[in-house]
A = this chain, B = another copy of it.
Amino acid sequence: MCTLVRRIKVHHMRASAMADDVRLGVGLNVRRCRLAAGLTQASLAERMGVDRSYVSGLERGHRNPTVLTLWHLAEVLNVRVRDLVDGL
């Protein structure tokens, strides 16, 4: 495979791996704050007005939430938005 194509492929693989890390980082922060607030995934979902599967997917790093969703989560979890992007 020519070097340029290989380099592009490696670049995309790295970018995709970084994106996975970012989503998982947010998920782990949400989980940590949820447990600290003494909430189950179901009770957090209910307060957010979303399905439990959304919270479960978010915590497993399968979602790419917007800043408004992060702000709503922070309000419900009684934390700052920066707590949900800690470490990113």
Please state the number of chain copies in the assembly.
2
By DSSP majority rule, is chain A's interface helix, strand, loop, or mixed? Answer: helix
Contacting residues of chain A (30-86) with chain B, CB-CB under 8 angstroms: 64-68, 70-71, 74, 80-82, 85-86
Closest residue of B by beta carbon distance from A85 = B81
Task: Please classify how large the interface on chain A is, using the bins under 10, 10 to 19, 20 to 34, 35 or more.
Answer: 10 to 19
Residues of B contacting A23 with CB < 8 Å? 67-68
Residues of B contacting A26 with CB < 8 Å? 67
In the assembled complex, 11 residue pairs joining A and B whose CB atoms fall closer than 8 Å, in A order, are: A22-B71, A23-B67, A64-B66, A66-B66, A67-B67, A70-B85, A74-B88, A81-B85, A81-B88, A82-B85, A82-B86
